[in-house]
Chain A
Amino acid sequence: MPTKDIISFENVSFSYSKIPVLENVSFKIKEFASACILGPNGGGKSTLLKLILGLIKPATGKVRVFNSFPASVRMKIGYMPQYTSFDSLFPITVMGVVLTGRVEKHLCGRYSQKDKETALEVLNLLNLENLINKNFSTLSGGQRQRVLIARALVSEPELLLLDEPTVNVDPGVGEDLIEILGKLSKKVTILTVSHDLGFVSRQFKNVLCVNRTVIKHPTSELTGNIISQIYDKDIRIVHHDKHTCIIGDEK
């Protein structure tokens, strides 16, 4: 049985006040064919995620998610934005953060028992059960990332969009994350932005290279040459035992 398309882009272009960000982009993502988005800063990675969420509309072309308009199926998508924008003084517990992932379920009033049970399940899955009542701002970078992934998962999505989940995370913690995402990728389709090539090559079959255009590669074809092309620069690649990192400035 052929698997269904989760995301399809047909000749999509988008620009911010006349500066083109994406031009003539076409690609498809099948169910459970999780992919990683690579590309230089300003290359259009976050724009791509916003188009999938339907937060912005393409100037030309067609974006379809679950064969529908993105905005109409937004509820089926779990989204983790980059966490740089958080207010470190905000008084909120881990449980509070995770519950906001189900904020649309009720018109008014408090979260239900079902919401809390689902939140607990997800927190257990991500090994966060000991931190439930901790203040979000007291957590380490890796813990915060896991909490934000939990928030994206608590709405029981069929598609998970992660914007740089491994940034600000220590290597050891990154390993945990990779393992967790590996487990999850059997249940949901994951699309993640990352600069961490080790992370990319071990967990994802496909790579979307985004730099005004989008080219889909199987991960196995990813070579130094292709990476240099994506980043428009000569980039040194460091191979460790477990990690492959991109080093180089991306302006």
Chain B
Amino acid sequence: MIELFHALTAPYASFLRYAFIVGIISSVPFGIVGTYVVTKRISYIAGAISHSILGGIGAALYFNFSPTLGAIASALISAFIIGFVSMYAKQREDSVIGSVWAIGMALGIMFISQTSAYTASLTSYLFGNILLISRTDLIVISILSLIVLLICCCFYSKFLAICFDEEHARSRGINVGFYYLLLLCLTAITIVLLVRIVGIIMVIALLTLPSAVASYFSKKLSSMMIISIIFCAFFTTVGLGTSFIYNLPSGPTIIIFAGFIYILIAIVSEGLKRHR
């Protein structure tokens, strides 16, 4: 524990400070967007978006531009494809989601395999690596978090109405298609924020687990969001600290800790329900 505090203040380990700050800042959009993803039951879509990010990262490495930019672009493209398919071609939506998921990953691996200098970095993108976090990332992540936060606050009542009852929202003249696409885009941007820390494969768990835990304590969507934010920050901070002290990979440590807490709370609250 003491060595963690030493490391956090040491000049050589700026990446560690960045990782903690990124974890806490991104908890805000993760808690908010995660709550929508869990209540609207679109975590499978979020999973496809997060995996397809590898395609964008691979392309960025191959063509030599910013991987974060590549990740955001590919996440948004996937969100649009899935959004349009689920709005206009109701049947076989799941096949398209599965295809976006796999094709994105396939493209990414293909690009990375052709980029000689980066062959070692595939695992860092898949499973997360806090050594990759730079000051620029910190700034980009803060700005994106702020954008997601502003949009979500602004359209809170619209998203709520759509997640609760799409048909009724449409009967009130709400452009359901537009807000659904917007929600998928916000999900896409949010996923990109923590890819560096937990990796493409596991980031979906950090989007859904805090909200799943929060759902046990909340009877309003807004309180579910606030509780998810707190749990998300708690998971990333404790996970990062543990991974540093015991020299474990950061992504899996955070996810295993989050999963453990979720199962614990699920068992306890089920037990309490039976007991009553």
A212 within 8 A of B: no
| Per-residue contact bits, chain B 65-84, to A (CB 8 Å; 1 contact, 0 not) | 00000000000000000000
Q: Please give me the residue from chain B that is nearest to A75 by CB atom.
A: B173
- A85 CB contacts on chain B under 8 angstroms: 165, 167
User: Is chain B's binding surface mostly helix, strand, loop or mixed?
Assistant: helix
B92 within 8 A of A: no
Instruction: Given the known inter-chain contacts A91-B215, A108-B155, A110-B156, please indicate yes or no for A96 contacting B220, CB distance below 8 A.
Output: yes
How far does the alpha carbon of A79 sit from the alpha carbon of B170 in the complex, in Å? 10
Q: Quote the shortest CB–CB distance from B177 to chain A (angstroms).
A: 13
Q: Please give me the residue from chain A that is nearest to B167 by CB atom.
A: A81
B161 within 8 A of A: yes
How far does the alpha carbon of A74 sit from the alpha carbon of B174 in the complex, in Å? 11
Q: Please give me the residue from chain A that is nearest to B38 by CB atom.
A: A89
Instruction: Given the known inter-chain contacts A91-B215, A110-B156, please indicate yes or no for A104 contacting B220, CB distance below 8 A.
Output: no
Q: How many residues on A have C-beta within 8 angstroms of the other chain's C-beta atoms?
A: 30
- A91 CB contacts on chain B under 8 angstroms: 39, 215, 218-221, 223-224
Instruction: Given the known inter-chain contacts A81-B168, A87-B39, A108-B154, please indicate yes or no for A103 contacting B224, CB distance below 8 A.
Output: no
- A87 CB contacts on chain B under 8 angstroms: 39, 41, 164
How far does the alpha carbon of A99 sit from the alpha carbon of B172 in the complex, in Å? 12
Which of A89, A90, A93, A97 has most chain B Cβ within 10 Å?
A90
User: Contact at B158–A103, with CB atoms within 8 Å?
Assistant: yes
Which of B157, B219, B223 has most chain A Cβ within 10 Å?
B157
How far does the alpha carbon of A77 sit from the alpha carbon of B171 in the complex, in Å? 8
How far does the alpha carbon of A103 sit from the alpha carbon of B163 in the complex, in Å? 13
A59 within 8 A of B: no
User: Contact at A79–B221, with CB atoms within 8 Å?
Assistant: no
B24 within 8 A of A: no
Which residues of B from 151 to 189 have beta carbons under 8 Å from A?
Answer: 153-158, 160-161, 163-165, 167-174
User: Contact at A90–B163, with CB atoms within 8 Å?
Assistant: yes
- A93 CB contacts on chain B under 8 angstroms: 219-220
Choose from A55, A103, A155 the contact partner of B161 (Cβ within 8 Å).
A103
Q: Quote the shortest CB–CB distance from A165 to chain B (angstroms).
A: 14
User: Contact at A99–B157, with CB atoms within 8 Å?
Assistant: yes
Q: Quote the shortest CB–CB distance from B108 to chain A (angstroms).
A: 34
Which of A77, A91, A92 has most chain B Cβ within 10 Å?
A91
How far does the alpha carbon of A155 sit from the alpha carbon of B172 in the complex, in Å? 9
User: Contact at B163–A100, with CB atoms within 8 Å?
Assistant: no
| Per-residue contact bits, chain A 63-95, to B (CB 8 Å; 1 contact, 0 not) | 000000000001101010100011101111100
User: Contact at B172–A103, with CB atoms within 8 Å?
Assistant: yes
- A100 CB contacts on chain B under 8 angstroms: 157, 160-161, 164-165, 168-169, 172
User: Contact at B157–A110, with CB atoms within 8 Å?
Assistant: yes
- A27 CB contacts on chain B under 8 angstroms: none
- A103 CB contacts on chain B under 8 angstroms: 157-158, 160-161, 169, 172, 174
Which residues of A from 25 to 75 have beta carbons under 8 Å from B?
Answer: 53, 55, 74-75
Instruction: Given the known inter-chain contacts A103-B157, A106-B157, please indicate yes or no for A55 contacting B171, CB distance below 8 A.
Output: yes
- A135 CB contacts on chain B under 8 angstroms: 219
Q: Quote the shortest CB–CB distance from A91 to chain B (angstroms).
A: 5
Q: Quote the shortest CB–CB distance from A11 to chain B (angstroms).
A: 25
User: Contact at B164–A97, with CB atoms within 8 Å?
Assistant: yes
Q: Please give me the residue from chain A that is nearest to B211 by CB atom.
A: A91
How far does the alpha carbon of A99 sit from the alpha carbon of B219 in the complex, in Å? 16
User: Contact at A104–B172, with CB atoms within 8 Å?
Assistant: yes
Q: Quote the shortest CB–CB distance from A245 to chain B (angstroms).
A: 28
Q: Please give me the residue from chain B that is nearest to A161 by CB atom.
A: B171
How far does the alpha carbon of A90 sit from the alpha carbon of B220 in the complex, in Å? 8
How far does the alpha carbon of A87 sit from the alpha carbon of B164 in the complex, in Å? 8
Q: What are 6 pairs between A and B in contact, CB < 8 Å?
A: A53-B171, A79-B168, A86-B165, A90-B39, A91-B220, A91-B223
